Structure 1
Amino acid sequence: MSMLTPAVQRSTLGLHTLEQYEPLIGAAGVERIAAKANRLGTMRVAHISSTFYGGGVTELLTPLTLMMNASGIETDWHLIQGTPGFFGCTKKLHNTLQGERVEFSDAEKTIYEQVVFENAMRLHLEDCDAVIVHDPQPLPLIAHFPDRDMPWLWQCHVDLSSPYAPVWAYLRRFIGQYDAAIFSLPEYGQDLGGGQHFVTPAIDPFSAKNRELSAREIGEFLGNYKIPTDRPLVTQISRFDRWKDPTGVIEAFRKARQQVDCTLVLVGNNASDDPEGGKILEAIQSAADDGIIILSVDDPTLVNALQRSAAVVLQKSLREGFGLTVTEAMWKGAAVIGGNVGGIRHQIKDGWNGFLVDTPDQAADRIVRLLKDARLRRQIGSRARESVRQNFLMSRLLEDWLDLLSRYERRVA
């Protein structure tokens, strides 16, 4: 007999149900996760982030919140609003958490805290059994709910291996008020004096960005954007962000092109809470030439088609909390070259299911090697897909969250 909740059974005609994952994780895996969801009963959870558009947090929360609801966990997703000045401040916080040494002034602190206060006045969380706040943008919210009787958890999705100490000390005033902090990887853990957990991100294999595509569909989408296929495609798909090193990608491509004729396609979008994206896009457009195609679009099926048709997929990040674009490309059996940083190192085993690089010269060398060896591309791609199936699918992320929330079940019962 199925252990799926009535909520799951009612929604079997829709998406984001555990039953969809049975061909990938097996019936026993589905039953195990469903049993954990059932044990949490009628828990109500609220996620709070700064944008519904662009970036890895959105890629995670879109399917996760739907799967939680389909599994019987009533789950809301709230968006905080902000001015351009506010998002300029939070982008600086993001950069300092990843190690940039710039001061966060008193005036910036005032803007940051005032906008978060205004958002707190609009939020009604009294009926929630757990509140999960994502990244630094909404972090100070907790200070405006002194009478809370449910656990508040803060999840940080960025590379926290070496945060800038003065800004980290400022943010810890808020982090210390949470019941626990959640990081993507153990190496991002901090001495917080309280609980901390580690939850690795994952992808939705059934989304428009990751679903199977026919050769005809791939050809149509590449044609719609006038992407030529007469030469091997090399691509990087990520936000226009200096931490993704798009200029380093262009440098590596130009060196590789001296040995193997190919085309570079850079695809990205600007997250609504990232004011630096436009400047980065202008910089790489000015550096482009006839062999480089740059697209600023939000089209998940184009991303899917490119990752499936590219001979090489790059994610040459300088800092990376995890790197979902790496996971997505590996799921499609792509040969991926990633920056030797952060979460990318937890996905790619160098030389086995992809390559890790530190410099444009290394990236160029691996591009040439892969373009010249179709058999190597196929071997690496096959291993890459299997590693994602085993470790980085949304069903596993849902189970991690069910396990984490169960630790607080006694407090919310």
Structure 2
Amino acid sequence: MPEMLAAYAEVVGQDVITHLQQLARPLKGMKVVHVNSTRVGGGVAEILEKLVPLSNELGIDTRWEVISGNEDFYRCTKAMHNGLQGHRTPIADSLLKAYEEVNRKNAEQLRPQLEEADFVFIHDPQPAPLLGLCPNRRGRWVWRCHIDASRPYRPLWRYLRGHISPYDASIFSLPAFAQSLPHPEYIIAPSIDPLSEKNIDLDAAELDEVRRRFELDPDRPLILQVSRFDRFKDPVGVIEAHRLARKFVPGLQLVLAGGTATDDPEGDMVLQEVRQAAGDDPDIKILLLPPDAHRTINALQRASDIVIQKSTKEGFGLTVTEGLWKGKPVIGGDTGGIRLQVVNYHTGFLVRTPEGAALRIRYLLYRRDRMVEMGAKARQFVRENFLLTRHLREYLTLIVGLLHGAQYRIELA
């Protein structure tokens, strides 16, 4: 058995790997291409970083391509991201023209391999126009939406729908996120890689080293949020929750750890807002980490008592999955894909306000036995539902279904 598959078998069991091999056997030699807008930063890049080589190890010729753009392109796609999540975000015609022009230029470079591929997966709005720019395509194209598009800004959705409707299928993370489209629609939740540096087990010495590096006191409770500096992640609300909880939990430490993505032009602005909200509070650490700081994030999650992801909008929230995998109860925003992972009172708590988050922080830190119980449930829940092997199995099932003409559709409310 190839080395990567053998390593996964030790985590998920040989039966899971055998099933993947059975699904992949009739697909061997098939050409598959994934396209997104960044190779570092964000959950999409993290998923593709391991999904692609694992697919190759199963005998499927899989490639990952990244489109590049200019400042106007990223301003436009950030506005699209916000608009899909419900913000009324009119986009100037000049930005839409830049968006279309960037896709035309990328299509010129990518067209040969996209048109000869058997399957092309286009991730999120950034490269959505590529299908219309590849008139001689011979394979099937799937648009994969990682965003909570349950209540999109309608003028924006009408525009994007024109690019997305001609696809052969679409994938959404939750049924509630889907929009009516004239082709089969699939539901596939994201996943984490249990063998990545961000999720492997670490020894106590490495945790101690990270505590020393960031001046964290091991004898005082620690809460942690890991995310890009994005307003939808509500880092300022986390700071408020920390200050409310600290009134009842003296010495409570907070770490906000994150970075920026190359396709997010608002990250620096939000980071400044967070630093201003934190002020010179010695119990709040704001860490701007490089994209490859995976072991550091892993250590911070394992060193924390509680993981927080207080998003107000969230496509899925892989940092929630990561926290659960480390055996930590997660306090998450009552939104999007977080609801799929945080089972109230079992794997963590869902909250809507800083006051609600503060209440749950206080509850857990005064009930350590509940924290241990919830953490054990959390890790098992991820093992059964949100690991990369399950994710790949569902991609393979989708490919087989489309190849054989299966017209699966979800029921839209």
Q: TM-score range by the shorter chain?
A: over 0.9
For residue 152 of structure 1, the aligned residue among 105, 129, 141 is 141
Paired amino acid for 1:163? P
Q: Shift of the alpha carbon at 1:97?
A: 0.3
Question: Given that residues 132 and 163 in structure 2 are in contact (C-alpha distance below 8 angstroms), is that contact kept between their aligned partners in structure 1?
Answer: yes
**Aligned ranges 1:22-101 → 2 under 5 Å:** 22-101=9-88
Q: Shift of the alpha carbon at 1:226?
A: 2.9
Q: Shift of the alpha carbon at 1:22?
A: 2.2
Specify the alignment match of 1:3 in structure 2: none
For residue 318 of structure 1, the aligned residue among 312, 316, 330 is 312
How big is each residue's C-alpha offset from its partner over 1:322-371, in whole Å with a ceiling of 9 and x where there is no partner?
A: 11000000000012100010101011110011111011110000001111
Specify the alignment match of 1:267 in structure 2: 257
Matched, 1:176 2:135: no
Secondary structure at the aligned position of 1:153 is classed as strand
> 347-356 or 217-226: which moved more?
217-226
Matched, 1:207 2:196: yes
For 2:136 and 2:13, the matched residues in 1 are separated by: 44
User: Number of matched residues?
Assistant: 398
**Aligned ranges 1:202-351 → 2 under 5 Å:** 202-261=191-250, 262-288=252-278, 289-298=281-290, 299-351=293-345
Tell me how large the CA RMSD over aligned residues is: 1.1
Specify the alignment match of 1:403 in structure 2: 397
Question: Given that residues 8 and 195 in structure 2 are in contact (C-alpha distance below 8 angstroms), is that contact kept between their aligned partners in structure 1?
Answer: no
For 1:87 and 1:222, the matched residues in 2 are separated by: 36
Q: Shift of the alpha carbon at 1:23?
A: 3.2
Secondary structure at the aligned position of 2:159 is classed as helix
Structure 2 unaligned segments of length 5 or more: list them: 406-413
Specify the alignment match of 1:163 in structure 2: 152
For 1:264 and 1:106, the matched residues in 2 are separated by: 42
**What percentage of aligned pairs have identical amino acids?**
45
TM-score (structure 1 length as normaliser):
0.94
For 1:287 and 1:181, the matched residues in 2 are separated by: 40
How big is each residue's C-alpha offset from its partner over 1:141-186, in whole Å with a ceiling of 9 and x where there is no partner?
A: 1111112111011101000110000000000000011111110111
Q: Shift of the alpha carbon at 1:104?
A: 1.5
For 2:367 and 2:333, the matched residues in 1 are separated by: 21
Q: Shift of the alpha carbon at 1:28?
A: 1.8
Secondary structure at the aligned position of 1:46 is classed as strand
How big is each residue's C-alpha offset from its partner over 1:51-109, in whole Å with a ceiling of 9 and x where there is no partner?
A: 00100101111111111111111110001010111101100000000000021121111
Specify the alignment match of 2:410 in structure 1: none
For 1:61 and 1:26, the matched residues in 2 are separated by: 22
Specify the alignment match of 1:5 in structure 2: none
Specify the alignment match of 1:108 in structure 2: 95
Specify the alignment match of 2:108 in structure 1: 121
How big is each residue's C-alpha offset from its partner over 1:290-310, in whole Å with a ceiling of 9 and x where there is no partner?
A: 210000003111111111111
Secondary structure at the aligned position of 1:270 is classed as coil
Q: Shift of the alpha carbon at 1:409?
A: 2.9
Q: Shift of the alpha carbon at 1:127?
A: 2.9
For 1:145 and 1:190, the matched residues in 2 are separated by: 24
Secondary structure at the aligned position of 2:313 is classed as coil
Question: Given that residues 227 and 319 in structure 2 are in contact (C-alpha distance below 8 angstroms), is that contact kept between their aligned partners in structure 1?
Answer: yes
Secondary structure at the aligned position of 2:157 is classed as helix
For 2:93 and 2:177, the matched residues in 1 are separated by: 27
Question: Given that residues 268 and 297 in structure 1 are in contact (C-alpha distance below 8 angstroms), is that contact kept between their aligned partners in structure 2?
Answer: yes
Secondary structure at the aligned position of 1:115 is classed as helix
Secondary structure at the aligned position of 2:130 is classed as helix
Structure 1 unaligned segments of length 5 or more: list them: 1-8
Q: Shift of the alpha carbon at 1:25?
A: 2.7
> 263-272 or 123-132: which moved more?
123-132
For 1:224 and 1:360, the matched residues in 2 are separated by: 29
Q: Shift of the alpha carbon at 1:19?
A: 2.2
How big is each residue's C-alpha offset from its partner over 1:361-400, in whole Å with a ceiling of 9 and x where there is no partner?
A: 1000000111111111101100000000000011101101
Secondary structure at the aligned position of 2:39 is classed as coil
Question: Given that residues 245 and 316 in structure 1 are in contact (C-alpha distance below 8 angstroms), is that contact kept between their aligned partners in structure 2?
Answer: yes
Paired amino acid for 2:247? Q
For 1:225 and 1:303, the matched residues in 2 are separated by: 12
TM-score (structure 2 length as normaliser):
0.94
Question: Given that residues 91 and 273 in structure 1 are in contact (C-alpha distance below 8 angstroms), is that contact kept between their aligned partners in structure 2?
Answer: yes
How big is each residue's C-alpha offset from its partner over 1:19-59, in whole Å with a ceiling of 9 and x where there is no partner?
A: 22223332222211111111212111000000001001011
For 1:212 and 1:26, the matched residues in 2 are separated by: 18
Secondary structure at the aligned position of 1:163 is classed as coil
For 1:240 and 1:407, the matched residues in 2 are separated by: 39
Question: Given that residues 116 and 139 in structure 2 are in contact (C-alpha distance below 8 angstroms), is that contact kept between their aligned partners in structure 1?
Answer: no
